Amino acid sequence: ALESQIETIKQQHQAELETQLLKKDATAQSELSQRDQKVSELTSQLQLKDKEKELQIANVKDQYEAQLKSANEQVEFYKDFKARQSTKEIGESLEQYAMTEFNKIRPYAFPNAYFEKDNELSETNSKGDFIFRDYQDGTEFVSIMFDMKNEADTTAYKHKNTDFFKELDKDRREKNTEYAVLVSMLEADSDLYNTGIVQVNDYDKMYVIRPQFFIQFIGVLRNAALNSVAYKQELEQVREQNIDITHFESDLTNFKNAFGKNYQSASKNFKSAIDEIDKAIARMEAVKRSLTTSENQLRLANNKLEDVSVKKLTRGNPTMKAKFDGLGE
């Protein structure tokens, strides 16, 4: 019976052990399956990223090749174009190109803008090629002086962009524009200028661009300046207030000066009148004194007259006394 119990217990333990082993094996298989699935997912993601990277590289390469092809075609076009033109026509063609490109988008991109040839000579008999000005609510918020430079490949003396910086800066200042931009096809082999947009460090707010960036650069400067419109409007209001105050002060000064002149004239006339009155008073005082003296004399005379009597008149005068005595009789 004990051996039977022992066998039964062994079988139970064996069954429990096998059950536990099966559970552990199932758990291990599940964990292994999950890990395999995760590894598979990570592998898929990695492969997807590799493919995306390859696609991006291929896309960038295609874009670069397209841009390079377009640039080469543009270079060839300009070379052929310039080869068939005279020196005068070369300069005018670049100006015509700029005007045409701007007019294409003027109605919807720059409806309030001014863009015309600079035909007015400055005080130093100088002018640029084009002037761009844009407005919002009547306030000018951006202005650009453009100068167009081009030359034929067969030209003996090759100009450099730096040859025109000083004159362009002078034109910008004389025509009161904020920016100066040289649209240039000079130095066609320069890596610096072929980057597209170059800032000239020696001059304030001056840039050199290739013709293909003409419209884009106007947009860049215009959009950057839009943020300053509110400030410029406030500044304009302050300026108008200052002008009004200046006019008020000027009018007040003119009034004070005119009043001062009138006051001086009136004061002078008033003083003359006072002097004349004083003179008149002095004359009247003299007349008064004369009259007073005459009155005294008359009073004395009257007193003397009243004091006259026959006795006094005949005293010491026998003849008159005899006559008065005769009249009495």
What's the pLDDT at 144?
95
User: Do both 186 and 115 map to the same domain?
Assistant: yes
What's the pLDDT at 87?
47
Distance between the two ends of the chain, CA-based, in angstroms? 225
Residues 6+ apart with CB under 8 A from 222: 110, 134, 142
Token digits for 51? 């493919």
Rounded Cα–Cα distance for residues 271 and 263 (Å) = 12
User: Do both 185 and 158 map to the same domain?
Assistant: yes
User: Do both 79 and 196 map to the same domain?
Assistant: no
This prediction's pTM: 0.47
The low-confidence residues of the chain, meaning pLDDT below 70, are 77-92, 152-156, 230, 232-233, 241-253, 255-278, 280-281, 284, 287-329
User: Do both 98 and 217 map to the same domain?
Assistant: yes
> What pairing do the DSSP bridges indicate for beta strands 197-199 and 206-209?
antiparallel
If one counts the domains in the chain, the total is 2
> What pairing do the DSSP bridges indicate for beta strands 197-199 and 130-136?
unpaired
Domain boundary among 61, 84, 107: 84
What's the pLDDT at 49?
84
Which domain, by its residues, includes 69?
50-84
User: Do both 111 and 222 map to the same domain?
Assistant: yes
| Residue 249: inside a domain | no
| Residue 100: inside a domain | yes
Residue 213, exposed/middle/buried by CB under 10 A (0-12, 13-18, 19+)? middle
User: Do both 70 and 201 map to the same domain?
Assistant: no
What's the pLDDT at 162?
92
Rounded Cα–Cα distance for residues 88 and 85 (Å) = 8
User: Do both 144 and 198 map to the same domain?
Assistant: yes
- What is the per-residue pLDDT across 252-270, written as a single tens digit (0 to 9) for each? 667 666 656 665 666 566 5
Rounded Cα–Cα distance for residues 314 and 224 (Å) = 132
- What is the per-residue pLDDT across 195-211, written as a single tens digit (0 to 9) for each? 778 999 989 999 999 88
User: Do both 92 and 203 map to the same domain?
Assistant: yes
What's the pLDDT at 7?
84
Residues 6+ apart with CB under 8 A from 248: none
What's the pLDDT at 157?
72
User: Do both 75 and 185 map to the same domain?
Assistant: no
